[in-house]
Structure 1
Amino acid sequence: MVFVDPCRGFLFFLVIFLIASQYRRIAATEERLYGIPKNQVFDQVLSATLYGFLGGVFGSLIMVFVGVSLSYTGIAYLWPLALLLMLINPRFICFSYAGGIISISNLVFGWPKVDVPGLAALVGILHVTEAMLIRISGGTCITPIMIRNKRGKVVSGFSLQKFWPVPIIVLLAVSTPEAAELTGLIRMPDWWPLVRPDGITPDENLIYIMIPVVAALGYGDIAIISPPSLKLKRTSLSLSVYSATLLGLAILSSWIRPLRWAAALFAPLGHEAVIRAGMRGEFTDEPYLQYREGEVTVLDVMPKSPAARAGIQSGDVILEANGIPVRSASDIKMLGESGVRAFHILLRRDTDAKRGGRFEIIHTRLERTDETHLGLITVPDATAASFVEIKKSMPLMRLIEVISRLVRSRKR
C-alpha cells in the first residue's frame, strides 16, 4: 500500500532521499579524512532500505499485537515539540523526551488530551524496533576516527552511524455503534488490545483500521574504549531493556491509573540513562586501540582494498613486510608509494577481547592490481594533527548567531 498510494509512495522516497543525504555526509567526511570514502552511499542506502523493511515487519507485528492506536497518542503535539527540543540538543528529537513532557503535562494540567499509556507504548515499540536494527545492521556503517579526549590526548576510535527508512503498520481506532452490521471485519480476542484507549465506555464499539506509514529511525554512537561489535551489542541490549520496561509500564498503566506517572517519567529519564551509560568512560578511559612505540596497529581496513583481500583486520599489528620490519606508519606509506605489487605480510593478532593476552602470528600475502592505495588505516600517535572534534553547540544558539549576523549586516 505504501507504493500503491501516490502520497505514501512520495513520502517513502522522500524519507529515502533524506537518509541518502546523511550517508552522503558520512562519505564526504571519510573522503576528507582518508582520501576515499569507506562507506559507499548506494550500498548504504540499499542495505538500510532492506533492513528497514525487516524492521517495519517486526515493529508492525508488535504494534498490532499490543493494539496501540494513534488516534489517542497526541501525534499532532509530538512532532512540533520534538522539533523544538531539537533546537536545544539534536538528540532531543527522540520521541521519548517529547512524549514524556506531553504525558506529564496531561497528568498535571489535564492538557493536552492524550492517552498516556498509548503514547508510552508507541515510544517503546519504536525503540525496540531500533534496538533490533542496531543489533542486526548497526555495524554496517562504521567510520574510523581520531578524536581528542578530555585529557587532551588524540585517541583512535570509531563513529557508528546508521539510518533506516521503516515502513510500518499503525492502527487508528474509530468508534461506531453499528460495528455488528459491518462486514469484512476480524473479531479480536477479548483480551485485546493490551493498551486500552482512554475515555471509551463499555458499550462503545471500536474498529481498528490498519494504515501503512513511513518512519525514519537513526542511530549514532562512538566506540573508543571497546570494539564496535561489543558496543553495538551493549547498546542494543540496554535499549531493548528500556523498551520492554516502558512497554510493560504502558500496558499496566492502561489498567492501573497511578502507574501512568511511572510511564511518563520513565520515558525520558530511562532513555537519558541509556545514553549516559553508553557514553560512560568513552572520553576518559584508555582507548581499545592504542599507539605503541615501534608498532604499527591497524585501526581499520577499506572495503574491497588490497588489505581487505589479504584478510587484514582492525587491531592487527603489522610486524614485517617482505621480511623487512615495520616500525612506523611512514613504513606503511613507503610500501604504498613503492612500485611493488605484492607483499608477504607478517601479522600479530590478539585472540582475546581484552587484548594483551593470547595472540597468534599470521602470514598473509597482500596483492594490488591497479590500486594506488593499500587500504590500511593505522592507529596514529598522540601528536596526530588531524582529528575529529565533537562540538556540543546548541542548534538554537547557532540560529540566534545567524539571525544576529543578518541584523548586523543590514545595519551596515
Structure 2
Amino acid sequence: MIVVTELAYRFVQALLQLLTHPFYYIGILFIILQYRRHIAFERKLFSTKLHSLLPETWRTVLWGWIGGLMASVLMALVGATIQAEAVILLWILSLLLIFIRVRYLCWAYAFGVIGVLQVAFKTLPGLKEMEALQWLSGPLLELSIPAMLALVAILHFVEAIYVRRQGTRLGMPLFFESKRGKIVGGYHLQGFWPMALFLIVPLEGGGGASLPWTPLLGGDLWSGGWTIIGFPVMIGFTEMTMSRLPQDKVKISSKLLMGYALVLLGFAYLAHLWPALTLLGALLSIGLHEAIILYSRWEETNRTPYYVHSSKGLRILGILPGSAAEELELHVGEVLHKVNGVPVRTKDELHQAMQLNPAFCKLEVLNLAGESKFVKRAIFSDEHHQLGILLAPDQNAPFYAEEQQNSILAYFSRKLSGLLSNRSGPGSTGTKSL
C-alpha cells in the first residue's frame, strides 16, 4: 500500500513536470503542421480532403498518451537512468536534425549522435578540456548509454504496434513519377505521435519505499531510492509505396521495426555488461534504421507499380470517408470494370457511363482477388463528389509528388513544396474525385 501511495504521489509530480515541458507543445505544434500540409496536398490533387485537422490532431495526442503509458511500464521493468540533461540533448539534436529531413525527428538518430559524441569525449581528453564545450562535456559523460539504448528500443516497439494498427489510416494517396517516367498512384505513409513518458529512475538518497521488483538495468543504483520523471518524446515513421496496398506495406514496416527494437534492446543489455559495445550500439541505432528505409526503397524500385489503370478497368486509389463508395464497401486497390453495364477503361468513358443514369449507379467491380462483385446505389444531387472515389492517375494528371523528403522548413512555407507540375498534363488545378 505504501508503494502504491508513493507511486501515485510521484506520478502526479511527474505529470505536472510533463505539462510544463515546452517540448511537449512543440511536438503538438509539429503534428498540427504535418496534418495541415497533408490536407493542402489532398486539396491540390483531389479538390477535397481525406483528413480533418482537429480530429486527427486530438486522436494523435490521445494515442501518444496511451503509447507513452505503455512504454513507461516496459521501461519500469527494464530500468532507466535517464537524466533531465539527456532529454534536453535528445530534443535539441532532434530539432536540429529535422532541418535536414523531417524523418530525423525519430530519436534513433539523436541517440546515435549522442552515443558517438560520448565515446569521442571519453577517448579524446582534449575535447572535454575545451572551455567552449564545458557546457556539453559534463552532462554528456554522465549519460547512461545502455539505458538510453533501451529507451529507443522500447519506443520503436510501441511504434511498430502503432504502425501496424494505425499506419493505413494515416496514409495519404499521391501521384508519383515511376522509374520509367510514367505518372502512377501511390501512398505516402507518415505518422508521428507526441508521447507522454513517465520513467521510474534511481535517486541516490531518495529514500521512501522500495520497489517491489528489480529492474533489469541499474543494479545497486536502485538501493538508494527512486523517483518518477515525466517528459515528452516523439515517435514516428515515414514510408512510401507505389507497389503495395497500404495495409500490406504497414505490415512489412511493422515487422522490420519490431526486429529493430529487439536488436537494440539486446545491445542495451550487452552494453550494460560490456561498456566497450557502447559505440557499436550507437552506430547500430542509426545504421539499422537507415537500412530499413533503404531496403524499403530498394524493394519499391524492383516491383511493378500497382496503382495504374489496365484493360480491365480503372484502379481505385482512395475512398473518401463517409462517402457513397465507403457505404458500398469499395476498397483501395479494386478495379471499376463496368458502370451501368458499360465497360470503362478511361475517365472519359467513366463519366459517359455515369451520365446514362444520373440518378442511379450500378457498378461491376473486380475485388482484390480479381473476382467480380456487383453493387448499386441511388445518386442524389446534393451529394458532394457523388460516389467519393479517387482514381489512380493517368498521364494527364497536372501534378505529382516528389519522393524526396523535405526539411521542417517546408511545413512553414506558404508555398506548397513537394509537388511538381506534369508538363505533359493539362494546366488544370487538380484532379477531382468522382
Q: What TM-score do you get using the length of structure 1 for normalisation?
A: 0.82
Once the two structures are superposed, residues 327-348 of structure 1 have per-residue CA deviations (whole angstroms, 9 ceiling, x without a partner) of: 2112333466787222111112
1:155 corresponds to which residue? 184
Matched, 1:169 2:198: yes
1:25-48 superposed Cα distances (whole Å, 9 cap, x missing partner) = 211211111111012223322332
Correspondences of 1:55-204 after superposition (within 5 Å): 55-71=67-83, 74-110=86-122, 111=137, 112-113=140-141, 114-176=143-205, 182-183=207-208, 185-189=209-213, 192-196=214-218
> Match for 2:388 among 375, 385, 404?
375
- CA drift of 1:311 comes to 1.6
Distance 1:14 1:340 in 2: 49
Q: Hey, what's the Cα distance between the residues in 2 that align with 1:257 and 1:7?
A: 31
In structure 1, C-alpha distance between the alignment counterparts of 2:319 and 2:244, rounded to whole Å: 17
Paired residues of 1:173 and 1:206 also in contact (CA < 8 A): yes
- Tell me the SS of whatever aligns to 1:74: helix
Equivalences for 1:230-269 in 2 at 5 Å?
Answer: 230-269=248-287
C-alpha distance in 2, partners of 1:175/1:371?
66
**Counterpart amino acid of residue 387 in structure 1:** Y
Which residues of structure 2 form unaligned runs of 5+? 1-11, 123-136, 413-434
* 2:225 corresponds to 1:207: yes
Q: Distance in 2 between the 1:24 and 1:60 partners?
A: 30
Q: Give the percent of matched residue pairs that are identical in Structure 1 and Structure 2.
A: 27
Counterpart of 2:16 in structure 1 is 5
Deviation at 1:169, TM superposition (A): 1.1
2:294 matched residue in structure 1: 276
Partner of 2:415: none
Distance of 1:391 and 1:283 partners within structure 2: 14
How far is the alpha carbon of 1:49 from its aligned partner?
Answer: 3.0
The yes-or-no answer on 1:287 pairing with 2:305 is yes
Q: Is 2:400 aligned against 1:387?
A: yes
Q: Determine if the alignment matches structure 1 residue 296 to structure 2 residue 314.
A: yes
Deviation of 1:261 after TM superposition, in Å, equals: 3.1
Which amino acid in structure 1 is aligned with residue 332 of structure 2?
A: S
Q: Structure 1: 5+ residue runs without aligned partners?
A: 352-358, 400-412
Q: Secondary structure at the match of 1:258?
A: helix
Distance between the aligned counterparts of 1:372 and 1:206, measured in 2? Answer: 65
Shift of residue 349, structure 1, vs aligned partner: 1.6
Residues 99 and 35 of structure 1, relative CA distance in 2, 3 Å threshold: same
Maintained 8 Å contact 1:71/1:173: no
Whole-Å separation in 2 of the counterparts to 1:203 and 1:123: 21
| Cα distance in 2 for residues equivalent to 1:302 and 1:398 | 24
Note if contact 1:73-1:115 (Cα within 8 Å) is conserved in structure 2.
no
Mean CA deviation greater in 329-338 or 59-68: 329-338
- Distance in 2 (CA, whole Å) between partners of 1:295 and 1:117 is 55
TM-score, normalisation: structure 2: 0.79
Are 2:347 and 1:333 equivalent residues in the alignment?
no
**Number of the residue aligned with 1:20:** 32
- Return the alpha-carbon distance in structure 2 between the equivalents of residues 49 and 2 of structure 1: 21
In 2, the alpha carbon distance for the partners of 1:63 and 1:323 equals 60
- From the superposition, tell whether residues 6 and 273 of structure 1 become closer, same or farther in structure 2 (CA, over 3 Å): closer
Q: Which has the higher contact order (CA 8 A, sep 6+)?
A: 2
Partner in structure 2 of residue 408 of structure 1 = none
Per the alignment, do residues 81 and 281 of structure 1 end up closer, same or farther by CA in structure 2, a change over 3 Å counting? same
Distance in 2 between residues matched to 1:155 and 1:24, nearest whole Å = 24
Which residue is equivalent to 1:407? none
Aligned residue pairs total 381
Is contact 2:99–2:408 with CA below 8 Å preserved after alignment? yes
For 2:275 and 2:15, locate their aligned partners in 1 and report how far apart those are by CA, in whole Å: 41
Q: Deviations over 1:281-338 (max 9, x none)?
A: 3245311232224621212211111122112212222222222222211233346678
Could you tell me how far 1:381 is from its partner in structure 2?
2.6
Q: Cα RMSD (Å) of the superposition?
A: 3.0
Match in the other structure for 1:362: 373
Give the one of 342, 367, 384 matched to 1:324: 342
